[in-house]
């Protein structure tokens, strides 16, 4: 795969990302890209940009609401057309892994990411995105030992965000039970904080600060791992069994400072399990949480959003659901990943307007 192809793909992907973040309709741009894949002008780069959109952007920003399979058909069609032409392409193998992950075929996804990693022997950037996915798939499987290895290597090799990778490394290390080693890495998070305006690094430093000052526990590190799985929209990729294990892990945390976070995560887990009534109850508790608000400002707006989305699914509670979405959008500010949530709220309201014209 020519190196310039990667950069053209990233350029197209950044354009899609910019449109999404500005809360404009991305459909015309995607339709244009689909049409241009029949042309000879950079068709490979456009296909890669479309794969990025369908397998990364759409699920991450919840552009299709709770439909986690949206976009997979289009992604599979692109992969099927190009698989024979590029059998040894690390990028196409990477996107195959992304599709498998979204289909909850985590073992198959891990195989694809490991294969892509081996194919990308001279492409460090692709090696790093493969390592990143291996780390995430390992976390999804609650295999914190393998996740720790992937994120530690990224912390040591990647130039993108050593601060963020250090936080993930420490969380996974602590979740294995090595809390002393984890605390040492948590102390590195602040030292590696370089991009002061980057929300991910700000979040990593803020979260790591607690464990820099006091000893982490295995239970709190497991909770922190579930937290990033939630924030990065990875819980829907988890198996029924692992979601149950996560629910149990959340219930084992008794620290009063994380009650709101625990309720938010339990709500999200029960939502994925299909236990709507339980999910609603936990989200309602998270919305009302005031005790841990100073440590986790994002809990209440995210809980409002989650609760609103659940209520939208019931014709009798659509009005209340819409009100909660506007509450999440307008009554809270200055919290972690605020822009990310606003994009998801916009997508939820846009889909509602298609069903119930205003």
Q: What is the pLDDT of residues 124-161, one digit of tens each?
A: 899 999 999 999 999 999 999 999 999 999 999 988 88
Query: If we measure between CA atoms, which residue out of 68, 138, 85 comes closest to residue 107?
Result: 138
Residues 343 and 284 in one domain: yes
SS (H, E, C) 103-134: CCCHHHHHHHHHHHHHHCCCCHHHHHHHHHHH
Which range, of 14-18, 224-228, 250-254, 308-312, averages the lowest pLDDT? 14-18
CB atoms within 10 A of CB 60: 16
pLDDT category of residue 64 using cuts at 50, 70 and 90: low
**Domain contains 265:** yes
The single-letter DSSP state of residue 254 is -
Residues 291 and 337 in one domain: yes
**Domain contains 355:** yes
The stretch 239-244 carries a mean pLDDT of: 98
CA 299, CA 208: separation in Å to the nearest integer? 17
Structure pTM? Answer: 0.87
Q: Can you tell me which residue has the tokens 């200055």? A: 334
**Domain contains 16:** no
**Domain contains 128:** no
Report how many domains make up the chain: 3
Residues 208 and 260 in one domain: no
∠ Cα 348 352 354 (to 5°):
125
For residue 344, the SS3 value is helix
Query: Which residue would you say has higher pLDDT here, 244 or 7?
Result: 244
What pLDDT, on the 0 to 100 scale, is given for residue 21? Answer: 42
CA 245, CA 292: separation in Å to the nearest integer? 24
Percent of the chain, pLDDT > 90?
62
Buried b / exposed e over 82-93, threshold 16 CB at 10 Å, is beeeeeebbbbb
Residues 156 and 104 in one domain: no
**Domain contains 272:** yes
**Domain contains 157:** yes
The stretch 23-34 carries a mean pLDDT of: 47
Spatial contact of 72 and 246, defined as CB atoms under 8 Å apart: no
Which range, of 153-157, 205-209, 245-249, 347-351, averages the lowest pLDDT? 347-351
Q: Is the pLDDT of residue 57 over 90?
A: no
Q: Is the pLDDT of residue 61 over 50?
A: yes
Q: Is the pLDDT of residue 20 over 70?
A: no
Q: In terms of residue numbers, what domain contains 105?
A: 29-122
Residues 104 and 161 in one domain: no
Which range, of 32-41, 70-79, 153-162, 200-209, averages the lowest pLDDT? 32-41
Last residue within a domain, chosen from 68, 95, 122: 122
Last residue within a domain, chosen from 165, 200, 235: 235
Spatial contact of 6 and 52, defined as CB atoms under 8 Å apart: no
**Domain contains 175:** yes
260 burial via Cβ count (<10 Å: 0-12, 13-18, 19+)? buried
CA 266, CA 314: separation in Å to the nearest integer? 21
- Torsion, Cα 345 347 349 353, to 10 degrees, reads 180
**Domain contains 244:** no
Residues 352 and 263 in one domain: yes
Q: Is the pLDDT of residue 17 over 60?
A: no
Last residue within a domain, chosen from 171, 202, 235: 235
CA 53, CA 51: separation in Å to the nearest integer? 5
What pLDDT, on the 0 to 100 scale, is given for residue 265? Answer: 98
Q: Can you tell me which residue has the tokens 């909770």? A: 223
Q: Which whole-number Å values give the CA distances from 48 to 45, 102, 116, 232, in the listed order?
A: 5, 17, 15, 22
Residues 208 and 276 in one domain: no
Residues 207 and 156 in one domain: yes
CA 185, CA 137: separation in Å to the nearest integer? 22
CA 304, CA 298: separation in Å to the nearest integer? 10
The single-letter DSSP state of residue 314 is S
Q: Is the pLDDT of residue 2 over 60?
A: no
């Amino acid at each position: 795969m020519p190196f310039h192809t990667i950069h053209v793909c990233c350029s197209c992907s950044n354009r899609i990302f910019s449109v999404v973040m500005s809360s404009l309709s991305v459909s015309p741009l995607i339709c244009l890209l689909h049409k241009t894949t029949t042309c000879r002008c950079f068709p490979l780069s456009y296909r890669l940009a479309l794969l990025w959109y369908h397998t990364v952007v759409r699920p991450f920003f919840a552009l299709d609401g709770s439909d986690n399979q949206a976009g997979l058909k289009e992604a599979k069609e692109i992969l099927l057309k190009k698989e024979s032409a590029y059998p040894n392409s690390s990028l196409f193998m990477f996107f195959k892994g992304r599709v498998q992950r979204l289909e909850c075929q985590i073992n198959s996804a891990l195989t694809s990411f490991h294969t892509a990693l081996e194919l990308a022997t001279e492409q460090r950037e692709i090696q790093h995105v493969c390592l990143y996915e291996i780390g995430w798939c390992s976390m999804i499987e609650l295999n914190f030992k393998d996740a720790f290895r992937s994120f530690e290597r990224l912390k040591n090799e990647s130039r993108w965000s050593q601060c963020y990778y250090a936080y993930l490394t420490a969380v996974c290390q602590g979740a294995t039970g090595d809390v002393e080693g984890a605390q040492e890495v948590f102390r590195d998070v602040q030292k590696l904080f370089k991009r002061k305006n980057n929300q991910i690094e700000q979040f990593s430093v803020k979260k790591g600060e607690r464990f820099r000052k006091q000893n982490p526990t295995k239970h709190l590190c497991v909770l922190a791992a579930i937290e990033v799985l939630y924030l990065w929209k990875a819980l829907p990729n988890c198996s029924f069994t692992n979601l149950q294990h996560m629910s149990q892990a959340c219930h084992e945390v008794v620290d009063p400072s994380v009650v709101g976070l625990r309720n938010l995560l339990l709500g999200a887990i029960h939502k994925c399990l299909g236990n709507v009534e339980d999910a609603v109850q936990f989200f309602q508790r998270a919305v009302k949480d005031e005790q841990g608000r100073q440590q986790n400002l994002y809990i209440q707006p995210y809980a409002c959003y989650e609760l609103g989305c659940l209520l939208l699914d019931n014709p009798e509670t659509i009005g209340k659901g819409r009100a909660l979405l506007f509450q999440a959008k307008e009554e809270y500010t200055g919290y972690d990943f605020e822009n990310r949530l606003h994009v998801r709220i916009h997508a939820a309201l846009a889909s509602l307007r298609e069903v119930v014209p205003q």
